[in-house]
Amino acid sequence: MSGAAGGFFLAAAGLGSPPHNVTMKIAAVQMVSTPEWSSNRDAAARLVAEAAAAGAGLVQLPEYFCTMGRRDTDKLALAEAAGDGPIQRFLADTAREHAIWLVGGTLPVQTGAGGPGQGPVLNRCCVYGPDGAEAAHYDKVHLFAFDNGRESYDEGRTLCAGSQPVALQAGPLRVGLSICYDLRFPELYRALMTPPCDVICVPAAFTYTTGQAHWELLLRARAVENQCYVLAAAQGGIHPNGRRTWGHSMVIDPWGVVVDELAEGEGFVIAEVDPVRLAQVRMQLPALAHRRL
């Protein structure tokens, strides 16, 4: 991974403006993950294969596709060393098998602060190229906390925050990475737009309560203000741990139009990134060029 101006990182080869005559289908996989890695692995393998068979050149898994534990601390037992482990090898092998760009949702990665099975850990999104090599990774910067008297969450109990925005060149597309709660912080996405991204990825596990209120609103806002496609892969359904996630995985175009959506349950959404559409929106309403702050 190479450093770049503006305090964030660009990854992979071939940086620069994407060819304006090249299109790519992108897909977001929706899951209802369990506490069992093996069953989640099999479900992810099947759904990624289906999306690739439908023509997707870039496929995204949801946050914590690998586990939705019964307790927050359960993820610690699955935490892997950076760069190696069963989950990372699965993602690399899957990308290579289907010759796709695979945005691997998230997995827990050890920080070295504690021993195996101890926290805190990073919530990391790893991206693999069609050759199976890791092209980039992003550690979730904003850690979710919520308490309405009935539901209580605090990721800071088990996670430590990342510090750097990350974007990469995935074939013809410049792709910005974010995770779930990041969606509420528009400054992160502005940092990713120098130069502008074609697609912003949002693997997520929004709660039913917060998702019902704000999920689509925030996703469409990020697409409109950054004039790019937004690809959101969600957990969606009632999990064995009793938690209900909102789902509604979707693809949104640069004008804020929802192109494809899946409300609940396993499956995927898919759409084509149209460079002509991107250029048209940015030319007709040159908001990105009008930025002053």
| Residues forming the active site | 63, 140, 180
Closest by CA to 78, choosing from 21, 38, 113, 51, is: 38
First and final C-alpha spacing in the chain: 28
Tell me the β-bridge partners of 136.
Answer: 127
What is the enclosing helix (H) or strand (E) of 87? Answer: helix 86-98
Strand partners, 134: 128
Q: Which residue is listed with tokens 């460079």?
A: 275
Q: Quickly count helices (H) and strands (E) in the chain.
A: 6, 19
**Cβ–Cβ contacts within 10 Å for residue 248, how many?**
22
Residue 249 corresponds to which tokens in the numbers above?
Answer: 């995985």
Q: Are 230 and 236 in contact (CB under 8 A)?
A: no
Q: d(Cα 197, Cα 172) in Å, to the nearest integer? A: 11
Residue with tokens 């305090």: 7
18 phi and psi angles, rounded to 5 deg:
-70, 150
